[in-house]
Structure 1
Amino acid sequence: MISEKKRKFFLILLIGGSVLAISLTFYFYQLFFSPNTMVDSDRVYMLKIPSNGVFKQVSKQLYDERVINDAISFAFVSKILGYQDNLKPGLYKVEPKMTNLQLVKMLKSGAQVPVKVTFNNIRTKEDLAEKITANLEVTPDQFLHLIQDSVYIRKFDFEEETIMSMFVPNTYEFWWNTSPEALFDRMYKEYQTFWTEERKQKAQALGLSQKQVSTLASIVQAESQKSDERPKIAGVYLNRMDIGMALQADPTLVYATGDFTLKRILNIHKEIDSPYNTYKYTGLPPGPINLPDVNSLNAVLNAEKHNYLYFCAKEDFSGYHAFAVNYSDHMDNARRYQRALNAAKIF
C-alpha cells in the first residue's frame, strides 16, 4: 500500500501540476486572445509593409508607434502561426483592441485595404508621375523610368509623344504595393474600358484615331475651363482641319516654349520651330499637350456642328469665348480682347 507520506506527495504534485497547467493555459490564452493593439485608444493605424520588409522592422514599427503594447507576445504568436517568415507587403488597417491572433491572421492573409489614386490637371509626364504615385509605394522616379522608356511603352502600342493618351484622368483604387509594371497594365485596361465601341465609332466618323482624339482634346481643354463650351471649340478645330487650315492654337505654342506661365502669345512665339507650333505646321501636333479629362475627350467625340472657324476669349475675362465665321468678325472680337488685356496690364 502507498504510505500516507507518498499519498500527500502525489497530491501536492497533482495540485501543483494542475496549478501550473492552468497558469500556462491562462498565459497562452492571454497571448492569443487578449487585446494588444491600442488598448487605451480608439484610433485606427494604417500599417505600410514595404515589398522588402522584414518581420523585425514591422514589429519595431508597431511597438515604437505604440500600436501594440507587448512586442514579445506579438512575436511569439507570429512565430507559432508562421507569419514571421511569410510577410505580405501592403497597406493594412489595424483596429484598436485587436488580439494578437486577429492581427497576425489579418497580416498573414494579406487582407490589405485599397488606396485611392486620383490624377487630373496634368501638363507633363513629371506632373503625372507625382500625382499618380502619391498614395502608392511606387516612386515618381520609378514611374518616369517606365513612361520614358520607348521600348517598354511600345508594348501598349504607344510612342513617347502619345503615351500620355493612355492615362484617363479619374479616381481609381489600387493596392498600395502595386508594382510600376502593374500600374501601367491597369491603366491600359482602363484606357481600353474607356474606348467603348460607341466611342471608337464616333472617332472614326470624325476621321480621327483614338490618339488623335486625345491630342485634340488636350488642345480643347487648354483653350477653355468651361466644360459646356468645349464641344463648340472642338467643332472649330474640326472645321479648320476639314479645310486644311492650320489649327493656330495658342496653347500648343505655350507647350512648345515650355513656359507655362505665358499669359499672352506674341508674334515672336509663332516663329518657334517646333512640331507643336500649330501656326507654322498644319494638322495635329505629335501628341497631347496635357492630359485631357473625360469631359474634354467627350467634347471632341461629340463636337458641335457649326460654321465657326474662329474664336477669341471674351473681353469680360469670364473664361468664355466669342465665335466668328469670318476673319473680319474675328478681328473685331480679338481687338476688343486685346484692349482688355492692355487695360489689365497683361503683356
Structure 2
Amino acid sequence: MKKNLKRVIWAVVFIGLIFMAGFAYFVYTSVFTSNTAFNNEEAHVYIPTGASFSDVLTELRPLLKNDVSFEAVANRKKYPANIKPGHFIIKKGMNNNDIVNAIRIGNTPIKVKFNNQERLENLAGHLSRQLEADSLSLLNAMKDASFLQESGFTEASAIGMYIPNTYEMYWNMSPDGFTEKMLEEYNRFWNASRNQKAKSIGLTRDQVMSLAAVVQKETAKEEERPRVAGLYMNRINKGMMLQADPTVIFAKKHSEGDFDQVIKRVLYKDLENPSLYNTYKHVGVPPGPITMPDISSIDAVLNYEKHDYLYMVANVKDFGYHKFAKSLAQHNRNRQEYVRWINSQGVNR
C-alpha cells in the first residue's frame, strides 16, 4: 500500500515538473524570445487615435512570427486597456515584452517635410499624407479666425507662416497642435538678426515674405535671388510697381478660382486684372505670398544685392537665368530677344 502511494506521489510530482517545465518554456518563448518576422533593422508602426486592440493586431500581424503569443503577453500586461496612438518603432529581434513596451510608451517623432505650396489648401493636402490628421481638419486649423488674429496673420498672409523645411513632430499631433508648433518655428526663424534686417530695409515681416515669394517664383537659381530681390527693392524705393509676371499668373488663378491651370505665357489682357495680387496694377507687394518662399529667397530679400537694375527678362541663351537692365531702352532690346524666342516655340498661353 505504501509503495503504491509513493508511486502515485512521484507520478504527481513528475507530471507537475513536466507541467511546470512546459509552462516555463511557454512563458520563456512567449515573453523572452524574438518574435519579429521582418528582415530590416526596424519596422514602423502607426496606431491611429481610437484604435482597438483588434486594429493594433491587424497592424502588427505581418511583423510577427506568432501573433497568439503576442496577444497573450499583451493581455497579461493589460495593454488592450491602455492603447496609445502614434508612430512606434519595433526593432528586429524584439521579444513580445519589448514589443508591448515599444507600442505603449515609445511614440516616436517623425520628420515632416513640405516645399513651396501656392495655397493653404495645397499645404494641407501635402501634410495629410504625412500626418494622421486629414486635410480638411488641417485646413480648418490653418484658417481658424481666432488663431490668425492672435498670431497676427490674415488669411492672405497666413501661408507665410509655414517656411519650407523639415520639421520633427509627432505623427498623431492634432491640427491645432500643428499650427501652434509652426507658429513657434516661424517666430524662432524670425530671430533678432532677421527682424533687424527687415526693419533696416523698411519692410515688415509680412512684406518680406510676400516679396520673397515673388523672388522665389521669378528664379530657381539661388545665386541669382539676391540680385532679383535687389531689383524689386529698387522699384519699391522709387515708388514703381513691381510688374512681376508671377503675380499676374497668381492673380488670374485666384480670380478664376482655378489653381490647376498651367500658364506659360502672360498675355496683355492678363495685365488688366484688377486683383490686388496683380503688381502691374498696384504699387507695393501683394497682400500675401503667392507661394511659400524658401529660406534662401527670404534671406535674399533681407540681404539683397545693391545695384541699379530696374528691369529683367529671361535669358534665352542661359536658361534659368535672367538679363538685367538699368534702362527701359536696354530692357526692350533684351525683351525683344525673349519674345522672338518664345514665339519660335509656339507658346501661346
TM range (shorter): over 0.9
Alpha carbons 1:118, 1:131 under 8 Å: kept: no
The residue number in structure 1 matching 2:71 is 75
The residue number in structure 2 matching 1:336 is 337
Alpha carbons 1:146, 1:153 under 8 Å: kept: no
Alpha carbons 1:119, 1:128 under 8 Å: kept: yes
Alpha carbons 2:90, 2:102 under 8 Å: kept: no
The residue number in structure 1 matching 2:99 is 103
Map 1:15-30 → 2, pairs under 5 A: 15-30=14-29
The residue number in structure 1 matching 2:256 is none
- Paired with 2:25 and 2:340, the residues of 1 have a C-alpha distance of 86
1:295 maps to amino acid: S
| TM-superposed deviation, 1:19 | 2.4
Structure 1, gaps ≥5 residues long: none
| TM-superposed deviation, 1:321 | 1.4
**Could you give the per-residue CA deviations for residues 195-252 of structure 1, whole angstroms, max 9, x where no partner exists?**
1101100000011111110000000111111111111111111111112111111111
- Indicate the SS of the match to 1:221: helix
- Indicate the SS of the match to 1:311: strand
Greater CA deviation, 49-58 or 111-120?
A: 111-120
- Paired with 1:174 and 1:279, the residues of 2 have a C-alpha distance of 41
The residue number in structure 2 matching 1:281 is 282
Alpha carbons 2:39, 2:92 under 8 Å: kept: yes
- Paired with 2:283 and 2:194, the residues of 1 have a C-alpha distance of 25
| TM-superposed deviation, 1:61 | 3.1
Alpha carbons 1:167, 1:187 under 8 Å: kept: yes
Map 1:223-302 → 2, pairs under 5 A: 223-258=218-253, 261-302=262-303
The residue number in structure 2 matching 1:42 is 39
- Paired with 2:301 and 2:58, the residues of 1 have a C-alpha distance of 54
The residue number in structure 1 matching 2:108 is 113
- 1:11 counterpart = 2:6: no
2:231 maps to amino acid: V
- Paired with 1:252 and 1:203, the residues of 2 have a C-alpha distance of 22
- Paired with 1:61 and 1:319, the residues of 2 have a C-alpha distance of 47
- Paired with 1:295 and 1:334, the residues of 2 have a C-alpha distance of 27
Q: Report the TM-score when normalising by structure 1.
A: 0.93
Q: How many residues align?
A: 341
The residue number in structure 2 matching 1:164 is 159
Structure 2, gaps ≥5 residues long: 254-258
**Could you give the per-residue CA deviations for residues 108-129 of structure 1, whole angstroms, max 9, x where no partner exists?**
22x1333221111322222212
The residue number in structure 2 matching 1:89 is 85
**Could you give the per-residue CA deviations for residues 248-293 of structure 1, whole angstroms, max 9, x where no partner exists?**
1111110000165222222211111111111111111111000000
Greater CA deviation, 249-258 or 96-105?
A: 96-105
2:211 maps to amino acid: L
- 1:56 counterpart = 2:37: no
The residue number in structure 2 matching 1:32 is 31
Alpha carbons 1:203, 1:209 under 8 Å: kept: yes
**Percent identity over the alignment?**
36
| TM-superposed deviation, 1:317 | 5.4
2:49 maps to amino acid: S
- Indicate the SS of the match to 2:222: coil
Alpha carbons 1:31, 1:100 under 8 Å: kept: yes
Question: Root-mean-square deviation (CA), in Å?
Answer: 1.8
Runs of 4+ in 1 over 4 A off after TM superposition: none
Question: CA 1:61 to 1:323, structure 2 compared with 1: closer, same or farther past 3 Å?
Answer: closer
The residue number in structure 2 matching 1:320 is 321
- Paired with 2:295 and 2:128, the residues of 1 have a C-alpha distance of 20
| TM-superposed deviation, 1:13 | 2.5
Q: Report the TM-score when normalising by structure 2.
A: 0.92
2:123 maps to amino acid: L
- 1:204 counterpart = 2:205: no
Map 1:207-218 → 2, pairs under 5 A: 207-218=202-213
